[in-house]
Structure 1
Amino acid sequence: MSVWPKSLITIGTGLLTARTASRLRRKKTAVGDQEATLARLTAQFARTSFWPNAGIGEKLGPDAFRTATPLRTYEGFAPAIEKMKQGQADVLWPDTCAFYAVSSGTTIGRTKFLPVTEGMLAHFRKAGLDSLLYYTARVGNSGVFRGRHLFLGGATKLSAIPESKPFQAYAGDLSGITALNLPPWVEKHLYEPGAAIAQMADWPAKIAAITARTSSLDISLLAGIPSWILILAEALRAHSAQGKARASNLQGIWPNLECLVHGGVPIGPFAEELRAALGPGVNFHEVYPASEAFIATQDSEAIAGLRLMTDAGIYYEFLPMADFDANNLANIGHKAVPLAGVKVGIDYALLLTTPAGLARYVIGDIVRFTSIEPPRLVYAGRTQLQLSAFGEHVIEKELTDALTTVCRRHQWNIVNFHVAPLFVNSTTGQTRGRHEWWIELKPGTTFTPAGPQLAAELDVELQRLNDDYEAKRLGGGLEAPFVRLVMPGVFEHWLRHQGKWGGQNKTPRCRSDRLIADALAKITLFARD
């Protein structure tokens, strides 16, 4: 197959940028996009063995769809997915499925095998390209396509699923599956770090190999988790100093670097350090990808939220968190609303219906709309990873925002953190519960942080951000928080022990139990207060 020349790609992406800019300016198209998507998906579901018996047929509108079949988590699909892994055709989606994205959502939880059907591959190709075109439309030119794009993702090597034999099925990181299915023009003219390095699972070795390969290339776009971007930046600057002056930032190595694509974790705690490491001319472009779907991408200023990708093959529903009950999903599906029914400022559990054959799937994410026209939202946390042991209903976004505000005020750089409850303890005389913050800061600050100071300022910020927390604190239901500043490497040690060091893995920011906090206590030998 012949591959388009680079010059044609440059011209083509310029035309696509103009078309995308025009499309994004159109008013009131999102709801129609969603209704058309639902019609296409249900037409495919009607061709399967599972869905006609589960209430879904063709020509279901949004209102009928939300009462036709209950909400499901992964466990509700697991038996059908096992059949797909064995090579059975037409189970959740027409035809067979040979690829499965392995995901646990966070470093805690059951491993999931998410089908990556041909329909899902088409979705990821379209949404991935559209997310870059949203960027070029936003900045007004397609210059980012003139250079190469370095993706710092998980290992792309896939593993055969033994229990699938004689059918040949493979599992691995979603980035590995999509890398094997890139359009030829992307693979030839854009994709880095190349197939061999991308397959590496040893992250220190992978960073070294990427540094050696890309330091002399024309990299215009960099994508990855912030913490690993910073490690790569340091490695590249050290490499650049061999025999000459050390580059002060990555633009000193890659003069045409103009875009950092980030997602997966809030960038707030890393923003200032990233700007210094990358260079003053690098634009940040936020995306909201998941193993289940590519959900949203930035189309304006970051503060505006991310534009929901309504025409990329995914149908969305939104269940108000006030109605969410993980133990009663079978009876609350009618309370979910389509895009046409959402409101600004309400926290919703996100439900997806996708070409993987998953309908009304509760992926575990919480989102909050910042605008309706166009539909923009922010990621607010996980349904199972809220901090509410004392009825305070604090979500991940509020914890992250509070810590980011405090640390920015003092020019402290955050490496990692986790928040857990400290319960009443008659032995120590603690008569009321409180929050326990485990925080790792980057060493070398001008003003040395202290736990009590951080605790006091975090308390003030969290009261400002969350009314329930404020009521608990002012009413005496919660003690002031307690902060533990840990030595460098503690969170890395915990992630390595979980087998989750590197790639897209991340530490859960909070839990309403002490599963992670007690593990951190063993590593640091802190006594329980």
Structure 2
Amino acid sequence: MLKSTLLRPFASYIRRRLRYRSALAVEIQEEIRKDLVRTARDTAFGRDHHFDEIRSYPDFRRRIPIGDYEAFKPYADRIKLGEPDVSWPGVPKYLAKTSGTTSGVKYIPLTRDSLPNHFGSARNALFNYVAETGHARWLDGKMIFLSGSPEMDSTNGIPTGRLSGIVNHEVPAWLRTNQLPSYATNCIEDWETKLEAIVEETIHADMRLISGIPPWVQMYYERLLARSGKATVKELFPNLDMFVYGGVNFEPYRESLERLVGARIPSVETYPASEGFIAFQDSQTEPGLLLNTGSGIFFEFVPAEQVSSDRPERLSLAEVKMGVNYALLLSSTAGLWAYDIGDTVEFVSLDPYRIRVTGRVKHYISAFGEHVIGKEVETALRSVAGRYGAEVTEFTVAPQVNPVEGLPYHEWLVEFSRPPADAAAFSAALDRAMVEENLYYRDLIQGKILRPLVLTALPTGAFRRFMKQSGKLGGQNKVPRLANDRKIADALLEA
């Protein structure tokens, strides 16, 4: 019997449970907070922060300071040595290795208690889609997950690798027969070599589901079409029925991906991170991602403008408001405590609690106090590109503080797959859109502190060359949309 038929009842159960738990999100969050403290009371972190004296959420805030990886690193170093009971009972099953902005490589524990958050949540996202839409054909064909290598190192006996590679070791048995590429192909380190092998393995397969970060999926599509001579991916894979993505906003890539596919494919957006599976799209009609409030994570929120202050306001789920840009904190069964994940979010619904990612705490431009964030540049570019018939492959924005002549400005470095017919009009419209998006930027433009943005069109392949030179081509790597300096911009101009 087909898997799509067998799994429909379970998918309906998953959706009913999600809706029930979402209605009780505040109460469940409080129970998770209590359980986390109770379970970790006798760990080194628990003793250091007097968990035995925590009786309430105000106690929790007083005893557990906000911290990023730098603050957690002394405990992470002990965990890496194999010491048990450091920030969570026992030793982790895996260490997820990820890049840090200030700490170099980060090692995030994945414990046996935290694994259901990662893998159960991914399952819930897909099964919820089946129950909502009735579309389950993707379960009966091949699926591809464009990810990092599953090969693991050992850190004092703890298997260590990229989260996307670790995922390959936890794929359930019922799904393995559907999964591509092969383990051997997935282990190829060089992205371009790996991509050619993936194309070879999948070009004649009955592909139904494709999952990955949009820019790398785009590369896969382009190679498929170049190899096959077909006009669209749908000609190759007529049963392609699902696209799962996360990590970046899909909208800037939508037009080019749909052109390559030859159709709009149903999609599910997810918000996974090494630190936890934060949220996922639970509705095909409502905006935002359902916050994963019932999966071993206790969430806190800090107004983004207060992140660097000495005494930031720190809110539980019950205290959040819509439309406010919050830095996201999490405490979890992985042994992370009031951990600043580095992302900013805003709520688009409080019943249920749905969010959208607005950017990174450290990825912004505020060279003149404007504090431009990722959501603003993506919204502006998407709206203007649509009006001018342009198609964007990739982009990033950086300040030019000391131009050779004239006032400072924001430089937009954009790689077009279809450039606008009138670049000057496009640039002017984009600046007007940014004025509408950010009132501080508007004041700086009107006050003649900044001149209108400068659009620099980059040649085809510039971003890929930059990522390759940086050793970050493929996998789960992403180009930051914003930087407060010119390191990325200057490297791109030289790529």
TM-score range, shorter chain: over 0.9
Residue pairs, 1:438-457, within 5 angstroms:
438-442=413-417, 448-450=421-423, 452-457=424-429
Q: Is contact 1:14-1:141 (8 Å) kept?
A: no
- Is residue 226 from structure 1 mapped to residue 221 from structure 2 by the alignment? no
Supply the RMSD in Å over aligned alpha carbons: 2.2
Change (3 A) 1:514 1:314: same
| C-alpha distance in structure 1 between counterparts of 2:242 and 2:39, whole Å | 37
* Equivalent residue letter for 1:465: E
2:454 to 468, 471, 482: 482
Show CA shifts across 1:93-124 (max 9, x none): 11112521111257x86221111121222221
Q: Is contact 1:388-1:394 (8 Å) kept?
A: yes
Show CA shifts across 1:463-510 (max 9, x none): 111122112222323211111112222222222222111111111111
> Secondary structure of the equivalent of 1:359?
coil
* Equivalent residue letter for 1:412: A
* Equivalent residue letter for 1:76: A
Q: Is contact 1:43-1:58 (8 Å) kept?
A: no
> Secondary structure of the equivalent of 1:285?
strand
Q: Is contact 1:387-1:394 (8 Å) kept?
A: yes
Percent identity, aligned pairs only?
34
- Is residue 296 from structure 1 mapped to residue 279 from structure 2 by the alignment? yes
- Is residue 118 from structure 1 mapped to residue 112 from structure 2 by the alignment? yes
Alpha-carbon distance, 1:279 to partner: 3.9
The equivalent residue for 1:74 is 69
The equivalent residue for 1:408 is 386
Give the ranges of 4+ consecutive aligned residues of structure 1 lying more than 4 Å apart after TM superposition: none
Higher mean C-alpha displacement, 499-508 vs 35-44: 35-44
| C-alpha distance in structure 2 between counterparts of 1:303 and 1:456, whole Å | 32
| C-alpha distance in structure 2 between counterparts of 1:418 and 1:37, whole Å | 39
| C-alpha distance in structure 1 between counterparts of 2:28 and 2:6, whole Å | 25
What 5-or-longer segments of structure 1 have no aligned partner? 1-5, 162-166, 524-529
Q: Is contact 2:256-2:392 (8 Å) kept?
A: no
The equivalent residue for 1:282 is 265
The equivalent residue for 2:255 is 272
The equivalent residue for 1:164 is none
The equivalent residue for 1:3 is none
| C-alpha distance in structure 1 between counterparts of 2:173 and 2:40, whole Å | 30
Higher mean C-alpha displacement, 382-391 vs 468-477: 468-477
Q: Is contact 2:70-2:103 (8 Å) kept?
A: no
1:308 to 273, 291, 298: 291
> Secondary structure of the equivalent of 1:304?
coil
The equivalent residue for 1:135 is 129
The equivalent residue for 2:408 is 433
The equivalent residue for 2:148 is 154
The equivalent residue for 2:47 is 52
* TM-score (norm: length of structure 1): 0.88
Alpha-carbon distance, 1:12 to partner: 4.6
Change (3 A) 1:385 1:299: same
The equivalent residue for 1:35 is 30
The equivalent residue for 2:175 is 186
What 5-or-longer segments of structure 2 have no aligned partner? none
The equivalent residue for 2:185 is 197
* Equivalent residue letter for 2:242: C
Alpha-carbon distance, 1:284 to partner: 1.8
Alpha-carbon distance, 1:407 to partner: 1.7
Change (3 A) 1:310 1:87: same
* Equivalent residue letter for 1:337: L
- Is residue 352 from structure 1 mapped to residue 330 from structure 2 by the alignment? yes
Q: Is contact 1:389-1:421 (8 Å) kept?
A: yes
Change (3 A) 1:55 1:143: farther
| C-alpha distance in structure 2 between counterparts of 1:74 and 1:391, whole Å | 26
* Equivalent residue letter for 1:405: S
- Is residue 65 from structure 1 mapped to residue 60 from structure 2 by the alignment? yes
* Count of aligned positions: 494
| C-alpha distance in structure 2 between counterparts of 1:36 and 1:278, whole Å | 45
The equivalent residue for 2:200 is 212
Change (3 A) 1:123 1:441: same
Q: Is contact 2:8-2:131 (8 Å) kept?
A: no
Alpha-carbon distance, 1:219 to partner: 2.1
* TM-score (norm: length of structure 2): 0.94
> Secondary structure of the equivalent of 2:44?
coil
Q: Is contact 1:260-1:285 (8 Å) kept?
A: yes
| C-alpha distance in structure 2 between counterparts of 1:324 and 1:279, whole Å | 44
The equivalent residue for 1:171 is 160
* Equivalent residue letter for 1:344: M
| C-alpha distance in structure 1 between counterparts of 2:17 and 2:140, whole Å | 23
> Secondary structure of the equivalent of 1:260?
strand
- Is residue 361 from structure 1 mapped to residue 367 from structure 2 by the alignment? no
Q: Is contact 1:351-1:361 (8 Å) kept?
A: yes
| C-alpha distance in structure 2 between counterparts of 1:486 and 1:496, whole Å | 16
The equivalent residue for 2:78 is 83
- Is residue 498 from structure 1 mapped to residue 454 from structure 2 by the alignment? no
| C-alpha distance in structure 2 between counterparts of 1:503 and 1:409, whole Å | 32
Alpha-carbon distance, 1:55 to partner: 3.3
Q: Is contact 1:317-1:337 (8 Å) kept?
A: yes
1:371 to 315, 335, 349: 349
